[in-house]
């Protein structure tokens, strides 16, 4: 980006009454030298295993780090120390403040007609039951839509059981349609008179572990306790209900709201040699759910992007632009870190060349999507070309960029999505099974190799990827 | 078996100062008609799905049924009702009395240097810790042998961590070498001064669920609390210990001994038309561990053998000899049901033509082993021939017969082993993950088909399989 384009960008921000523009007047390009270095970095990444070391460190030395817990504070401390240890030029934190939620006891059992314990886990932000539990008859619905379409008192005094099954897919496309039962189920059930809700876990496994995840209460609707059943327990309830007798369930949930808490985005920078104020964002989220050790969600993303930047930092010379690794705070409970970063930096969006977050596990990347101005597509093709030996193909110019980048993306920045194979991701997602053993070190290296190429090219290119993408292209 | 051979058998029992003989003087054989009916039964079993219905019923309507719990009583009631419903000619119970054990709270955490919760489960018959837990430094050993070989005070005041990994194998051969850490670890650790023991779960999975199972305290050695860690938690401790700092763990176990309890072996008989007092035993164990619903261990065995006998009961005529399905009580905590049956029937062993227990999950049978007199091998070959279309090959004449048959086998009866593929069995064995969804209905039908052939041929054959096998052949 030239000074002229920078100035033009600033003008456009005002002109468009948005915060961003960046329609540069130069034709973006990338030098042969840069391509050569990028290929070397890529090949080096495949041999490195640095990513695995990082996620092993995070899961072993910190482990669970739910927003607002002592693990959150330990993770921030770990992040700063790790980035410093790895030789980043600048390491700092930025505050992120949010409400917190505490998990307590969470048990459930069938009381009649076939007494048996059930495996459940409370959904994030669920209220608790009375201390001695909540006992009521179960009423089942195929999915959230069926609940919504049911008559007014369809669940009066009952515990709603939503039994929809998430579909397994490489691109994770089964998640969206299924997850509304988790996020909106409680309020929809309350509207029908329910006193509690149990959903089949939003996951693709058949392990006896329930998947947690955040839910929301609709303003003005009674808050009822909400939990997820493991898949085998949901099967069990279906089998019981099929017999036609009333199924009475007792659930006891001790969850409650905590105090407001201030955590931090942890940021490490490899500072550019020519245009240090311009930077590429790569990163993941540092928080995790409390049930596992947050290996694939999102220790892997932290590890992949930190390892990629660290590799660039080992070059004899700094790249032209800066590379920032952002370890976002509290993604899980509402993208709080991403929102805080966007708010803090919204006046300098032109400095952000592009951004890509890794937050879809630890399996191999199979596709790269971009969201860039048309003039920059030749540079994207050069990147795609460098990723081909990694088994990665180019997808389209409609990239999402990752959850913590949504707030920045909505302000118009250019983003990339390095799309991981998500076939197994939802087997472990938000369960106790999200542990280090689920990570294949070689797959992690493949991810690092892809990020290092993207970050390095973006840091070295002439011109920019554009911006001001406030509408879907 | 002729009357003469029966009489000879009785004489021999006395003469050999054992309890059994059965060296019949006729050459065993099987009629063409019987082979034809057996093939029809086999093919019918493959279409039946009766086995799945039975295990679905047991896991749904009873679920966990650890010895001495209300689930145990519910299972006995279920067994009697199910056998009656399925049209068995005689259904009865025989008492089995044993000490009981109660699980309580079971939690553990790393206190330092990296505070994190751990997933554990108490081993059956473990004593509890003090109510507010037991906190001590961890000391690791590669396996039980390494612990035994260590110096006298190697674990003084510490919690022993045994980290051996069970090997996956089709024939389950990894279990034996690994399981001694579970059964004998506590006393061996106590001998070295330990205050507690945590073992890596005896299992082949990498899920965050610990595998329970029975353990024993050696007479005269201090009883210390014993629990299993899930595989990912064992990995975690190894990774922590590798860093060289003392790892302090707190474990809290509320387990304790219960009162003596009387459960029952549940027996259903298809009564023979010609020699009703002679019978073939097939069966499984009715109890389970408390963590799962006991689908593969051993609801499957109950289901397979009950379905096989029920199919024979649907023939227009009863077979010559009787077929007994035995649902053994309390296998898990020491073969109590098997021992009780052997004790109650030891004076009439000649009546038992042969026996086979299904207790290795729900996957396909791939091999049949026998333990019969040489003269009967041609009949075994006819059985093997009928099993070939099921993908089952003949193995050898050294069958074990199944855990609950050990006491009878030690008294000399003939047995068969229909060996199931155990590649995945120890992924779920003794964990919360032992649930119905782990069962493939078609694999269950293949098992039923094999048992129906064995039971029918044994009931119809001329002559017998011999007995008095008091030494390994
Ligand atoms: Zn995530
Ligand atoms: Zn068993």
pLDDT digits (tens, 9 = 90+) for B228-237: 999 999 999 9
For A290, the closest chain B residue by CA position comes to B117
Interface test with B, best of A70, A207, A295 (most B CBs within 10 A): A207
- Closest C-alpha to B88, from B276, B321, B311: B311
Contacts of B63 in chain A (CB under 8 A): 114-117, 236
A49 backbone φψ class: left, alpha, beta (φ>0; ψ -120 to 50): left
pLDDT of res. B26: 72
Dihedral (Cα; B136, B138, B143, B149), 10-degree rounding: -80
CA of residue B424 to ligand 2 center, whole Å: 14
User: How many whole angstroms from its chain centre is CA A331?
Assistant: 6
> What's the gap in Å between the CA of B251 and the closest CA on chain A?
18
> What's the gap in Å between the CA of A462 and the closest CA on chain B?
45
Q: Is the Cβ–Cβ distance between B341 and B11 less than 8 Å?
A: no
Q: What residues of chain A, 56 to 95, have a C-beta less than 8 Å from chain B? A: 56, 59-64, 70
Residue A436, chain B, CB below 8 Å: the answer is: yes
Contacts of B59 in chain A (CB under 8 A): 236
Query: What is the distance between the alpha carbons of residues B351 and B355, in angstroms, rounded to a whole number?
Result: 11
CA distance between the termini of chain B: 22
Reported for A313-318, long-range contacts at CB under 8 A and 24+ positions apart, including other chains, are A313/A86, A313/A87, A313/A88, A313/A89, A313/A270, A314/A87, A315/A37, A315/A41, A317/A273, A318/A89, A318/A270, A318/A271, A318/A272, A318/A273
Would you say residue B473 has pLDDT above 80?
A: no
- Closest C-alpha to A213, from A197, A201, A230, A196: A201
Q: Which ligand is nearest to the CA of B430?
A: 2
CA of residue B72 to ligand 2 center, whole Å: 15
> What's the gap in Å between the CA of A424 and the closest CA on chain B?
14
pLDDT of res. A440: 98
Q: What residues of chain B, 234 to 273, have a C-beta less than 8 Å from chain A? A: 235-236, 239-240, 243
CA of residue A439 to ligand 1 center, whole Å: 15
Does the ipTM exceed 0.85? Answer: yes
Question: Cα-flanking dihedrals φ and ψ of residue B124, to 5°?
Answer: -60, 125
CA of residue A284 to ligand 1 center, whole Å: 8
Residue B5, chain A, CB below 8 Å: the answer is: no
Q: Is A339 helix (H, G, I), strand (E, B) or coil?
A: helix
Interface test with A, best of B60, B212, B238, B434 (most A CBs within 10 A): B60
- Give the list of residues 6+ apart from residue B148 with CB closer than 8 angstroms, or none: B188
For B113, the closest chain A residue by CA position comes to A61
> What's the gap in Å between the CA of A208 and the closest CA on chain B?
5
Residue A424, chain B, CB below 8 Å: the answer is: no
pLDDT grade, residue B25 (50/70/90)?
low
pLDDT of res. A48: 85
CA distances from A72 to A75, A261, A335, A431, B117 (A): 5, 10, 15, 18, 15
Contacts of B70 in chain A (CB under 8 A): 115
Query: What is the distance between the alpha carbons of residues A379 and A416, in angstroms, rounded to a whole number?
Result: 13
Residue A440, chain B, CB below 8 Å: the answer is: no
**How do the domains of chain B map onto residue ranges?**
3-99+260-460, 101-257
pLDDT of res. A471: 55
Q: Is the Cβ–Cβ distance between A329 and A265 less than 8 Å?
A: yes
Would you say residue A52 has pLDDT above 90?
A: yes
**B380, containing H or E segment:** helix B377-387
What's the length of chain A? Answer: 473
CA distance between the termini of chain A: 22
CA of residue B294 to ligand 2 center, whole Å: 9
**Nearest by CB to B61, which of A59, A114, A231?**
A114
Q: Does B331 qualify as catalytic in the annotation?
A: yes
Contacts of A61 in chain B (CB under 8 A): 114
**Nearest by CB to A435, which of B208, B293, B436?**
B208
CA of residue B280 to ligand 2 center, whole Å: 21
Q: Which ligand is nearest to the CA of A175?
A: 1
Residue A232, chain B, CB below 8 Å: the answer is: yes
Contacts of B64 in chain A (CB under 8 A): 116-117
Contacts of A114 in chain B (CB under 8 A): 60-63
Query: What is the distance between the alpha carbons of residues B87 and B84, in angstroms, rounded to a whole number?
Result: 5
**Nearest by CB to B207, which of A114, A115, A433?**
A433
Question: Active-site residue among A140, A310, A331, A375?
Answer: A331
- pLDDT averaged over every residue in chain A: 94
Query: What is the distance between the alpha carbons of residues B235 and B337, in angstroms, rounded to a whole number?
Result: 37
Instruction: Pick the range with the lowest mean pLDDT from A42-51, B6-15, B340-349.
Output: B6-15
Interface test with B, best of A289, A433, A434, A438 (most B CBs within 10 A): A433
Query: What is the distance between the alpha carbons of residues A458 and A370, in angstroms, rounded to a whole number?
Result: 12
* Average pLDDT estimate for B323-350: 98
CA of residue B292 to ligand 1 center, whole Å: 30
User: Could you tell me whether strands A226-229 and A248-253 are parallel, antiparallel, or unpaired per DSSP bridges?
Assistant: unpaired
Contact B236 A207 (CB under 8 A): no
Q: Taking the alpha carbons of B296, B299, B305, B308 in that order, is the dihedral positive or negative?
A: negative
- Closest C-alpha to A387, from A45, A33, A42, A44: A42
pLDDT of res. A470: 74
Contact B437 A240 (CB under 8 A): no
pLDDT of res. A23: 45
pLDDT grade, residue B48 (50/70/90)?
confident
Q: What is the pTM of this model?
A: 0.93
Instruction: Pick the range with the lowest mean pLDDT from A15-19, B79-83, B231-235, B284-288.
Output: A15-19
Would you say residue B364 has pLDDT above 70?
A: yes
Q: Is the Cβ–Cβ distance between B371 and B401 less than 8 Å?
A: yes
User: Tens of pLDDT along A65-91?
Assistant: 999 999 999 999 999 999 999 999 999
pLDDT grade, residue A473 (50/70/90)?
very low
Interface test with B, best of A54, A60, A237, A244 (most B CBs within 10 A): A60
Q: Is A383 exposed, middle or buried (0-12, 13-18, 19+ CB in 10 A)?
A: buried
User: Tens of pLDDT along A99-139?
Assistant: 999 999 999 999 999 999 999 999 999 999 999 999 999 99
- pLDDT averaged over every residue in chain B: 94
**Nearest by CB to A433, which of B208, B292, B435?**
B208
CA of residue A135 to ligand 2 center, whole Å: 34
Query: What is the distance between the alpha carbons of residues B5 and B252, in angstroms, rounded to a whole number?
Result: 60
Contact B433 A231 (CB under 8 A): no
Query: What is the distance between the alpha carbons of residues B178 and B211, in angstroms, rounded to a whole number?
Result: 13
For B70, the closest chain A residue by CA position comes to A115
Under CATH, which number does the domain A3-99+260-460 receive?
3.40.630.10
Query: What is the distance between the alpha carbons of residues B272 and A267, in angstroms, rounded to a whole number?
Result: 80
- Ion ligand 2, residue ranges at CB < 5 A: B 297-298, 359
Question: Cα-flanking dihedrals φ and ψ of residue A263, to 5°?
Answer: -105, -165
- Closest C-alpha to A304, from A444, A158, A117, A458: A444
Would you say residue B469 has pLDDT above 80?
A: yes
Contacts of B115 in chain A (CB under 8 A): 70
In which residue are the tokens 């269950």 written? Answer: B444
Would you say residue A186 has pLDDT above 90?
A: yes
User: Tens of pLDDT along A137-185?
Assistant: 999 999 999 999 999 999 999 999 999 999 999 999 999 999 999 999 9
Q: Which residues pair with A112 in a beta bridge?
A: A248
Question: Active-site residue among B140, B331, B332, B382?
Answer: B331
The CATH class that applies to domain A101-257 reads alpha beta
* Average pLDDT estimate for B389-406: 97
> What's the gap in Å between the CA of A116 and the closest CA on chain B?
6
Contact B236 A115 (CB under 8 A): no
For B290, the closest chain A residue by CA position comes to A117
User: Tens of pLDDT along A246-277?
Assistant: 999 999 999 999 999 999 999 999 999 999 99
Q: Is the Cβ–Cβ distance between B302 and B78 less than 8 Å?
A: no
Contact B231 A293 (CB under 8 A): no
**Nearest by CB to B206, which of A63, A64, A437?**
A437
pLDDT of res. B470: 73
């Amino acid at each position: 980006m030239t000074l002229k384009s920078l100035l033009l960008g600033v003008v456009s921000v005002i002109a468009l009454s948005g915060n961003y523009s960046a329609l540069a007047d130069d034709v973006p390009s990338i030098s042969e030298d840069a391509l050569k270095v990028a290929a070397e970095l890529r090949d080096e990444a495949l041999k490195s295993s640095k990513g695995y070391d990082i996620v092993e460190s995070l899961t072993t030395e910190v482990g669970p780090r739910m927003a607002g817990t002592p693990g959150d504070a330990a993770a921030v401390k770990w992040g700063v120390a790790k980035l410093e240890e790895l030789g980043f030029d600048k390491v700092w934190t930025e505050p992120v403040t949010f409400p917190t939620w505490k998990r307590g006891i969470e048990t459930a059992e069938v009381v009649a007609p076939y007494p048996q314990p059930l495996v459940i886990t409370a959904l994030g932000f669920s209220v608790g039951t009375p201390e001695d539990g909540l006992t009521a008859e179960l009423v089942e619905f195929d999915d959230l839509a069926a609940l919504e379409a049911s008559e007014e008192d369809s669940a009066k005094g009952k515990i709603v059981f939503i039994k929809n099954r998430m579909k397994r897919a490489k691109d994770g496309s089964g998640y969206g349609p299924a997850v509304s039962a988790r996020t909106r189920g409680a309020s929809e059930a309350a509207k029908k008179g329910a006193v509690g809700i149990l959903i089949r876990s939003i996951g693709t496994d058949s392990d006896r572990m329930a998947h947690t995840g955040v839910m929301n209460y609709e303003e003005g609707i009674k808050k009822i306790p909400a939990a997820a059943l493991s898949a085998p327990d949901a099967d069990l309830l279906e089998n019981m209900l099929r017999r036609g007798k009333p199924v009475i369930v007792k659930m006891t949930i001790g969850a409650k709201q905590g105090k407001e808490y201030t955590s931090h985005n942890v940021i490490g920078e490899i500072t550019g040699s020519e245009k240090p104020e311009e930077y590429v964002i790569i990163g993941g989220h540092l928080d995790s759910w409390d049930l596992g050790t947050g290996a694939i969600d999102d220790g892997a993303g932290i590890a992949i992007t930190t390892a990629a930047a660290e590799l660039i930092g080992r070059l004899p010379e700094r790249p032209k632009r800066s590379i920032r690794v952002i370890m976002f705070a509290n993604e899980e409970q509402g993208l709080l870190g991403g929102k805080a970063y966007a708010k803090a930096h919204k006046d300098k969006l032109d400095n952000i060349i592009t951004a890509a977050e890794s937050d879809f596990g630890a399996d191999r990347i199979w596709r790269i999507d971009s969201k860039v101005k048309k003039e920059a597509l030749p540079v994207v093709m050069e990147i795609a070309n460098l990723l081909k030996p990694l088994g990665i193909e180019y997808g389209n110019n409609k990239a999402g960029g990752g959850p913590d980048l949504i707030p920045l993306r909505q302000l118009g920045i250019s983003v990339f999505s390095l799309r991981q194979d998500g076939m197994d991701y939802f087997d472990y997602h938000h369960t106790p099974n999200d542990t280090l053993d689920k990570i294949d070190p070689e797959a992690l290296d493949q991810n690092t190799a892809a990020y290092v190429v993207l970050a390095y090219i973006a840091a070295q290119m002439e011109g920019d990827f554009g911006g001001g993408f406030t509408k879907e292209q």
